[in-house]
Amino acid sequence: MAVRTTGRLAGDTKSRILDAAESLFIEYGYEAMSLRQITARAEVNLAAVNYHFGSKESLIHSMLSRRLDQLNEARLKLLDRFDAMLGERLTCEHVLGAMFIPALRLSRDPQVGGKAFLRLLGRAYTDPSSFIRDFLNGHYASVAQRFFDAFQRALPHLPREELGWRLHFAIGALSGVLAGTDTDRLIAEFSQGKSMNDLQLTARLASLMVAALKAPLPDDSQLAAFATVLGDASEGGAEGSAASETACTPQGASATVVAPAAQSTVDAMREVRPAVRPAVRS
């Protein structure tokens, strides 16, 4: 039997379904949540979900879009504003600000989820489901590219591949924290109970990412130091100690400078370093 819902009742039912799906997604992730759980939490029947969305996949698309579309529109608007103001003087801090500030502002708005908004973002960006990955990559590819291009302009010393790795790990680490933590409690712990405004919170969140993104590429001595660790871990004992003693020998010395088990890692890391490193723009 078809579900007949009109006017405000239809809107309320649809919103309840979306809210239920959102809270379950935050708690369990895409693969672990079910339509049965959604209908129970929304206090509707399966026919109502089918009427409004047609399938679980379509429901999750709608649930993510109603939050992320608004967020990314605000992000792009702020990035465009910074771009127009600064041009070639655009900094890494400005690009990160364009990412964080709209998210923090929306997290203060109960109409878009309030405190749970940042957890939704964290879950969306860390959920292992290929369905979620494909949706984000397809639906917001132009937004991701716009920000990546801005980071490249602000960080010209980093090769494209290196920048991609750093952004992946930095954003992934932050998203993982947001996905599993009550943001207010996290802020209270880090600020020792003192209140933090958006400026202070943005600076705190961005500071670690700025350090990771602006760090110079590793030189030969740093590569050799890491090779020593790898050699000690893989060989141990006297052989590991021998590797430690020789790993920091300047490039061009004996071929036994680096433990064999770590040499391939050093070579691979050297291949991504540019021959000339432009000065870092602050």
Tokens for 130?
């290929």
> CA-CA distances (angstroms) from residue 26 to 21, 22, 190, 264?
9, 6, 23, 41
Neighbours of 8 (CB within 10 A): 8
- Tens-place pLDDT, residues 130-175: 999 999 999 999 999 999 999 999 999 999 999 999 999 888 877 7
In angstroms, the CA 106 to CA 203 distance is 17
What is the model's pTM?
0.72
Q: How confident is the model at residue 193 (pLDDT cuts 50, 70, 90)?
A: low
How far CA 241 is from CA of 56, 238, 246, 259, in Å, comes to 57, 5, 9, 10
Q: What pLDDT is recorded for position 248?
A: 43
Highest mean pLDDT: which of 180-189, 233-242, 252-261?
A: 180-189
Tell me: pLDDT of 9 over 50: yes
DSSP 112: G
- The CATH architecture one would assign to domain 7-57 is Orthogonal Bundle (1.10)
Euclidean distance between CA atoms 258 and 251, whole angstroms: 10
CA dihedral 157→212→203→140, nearest 10 degrees, is 80
Dmax over CA atoms of the chain, in Å, equals 81
Q: Which residues in the chain are classed under CATH 1.10.357.10?
A: 65-214
Residue range(s) occupied by CATH 1.10.10.60 in the chain: 7-57
Report how far residue 15's alpha carbon sits from residue 7's, in angstroms, rounded to the nearest whole number.
13
Alpha carbon distance 60, 21 (integer Å): 7
62 or 217, higher pLDDT = 62
Q: Which residue has the tokens 């052989």?
A: 239
Alpha helices in the chain (DSSP H): 7-28, 35-42, 46-52, 56-86, 92-107, 116-126, 130-139, 141-154, 160-180, 183-190, 198-214, 220-235, 237-246, 260-271
Q: Does domain 65-214 have CATH number 3.20.20.80?
A: no
Q: Choose the weakest-confidence range: 182-191, 222-231, 234-243.
A: 234-243
Q: Is residue 234 within 8 Å of 262, Cβ to Cβ?
A: yes
Q: Residues of the chain with pLDDT > 70: what percent? A: 71
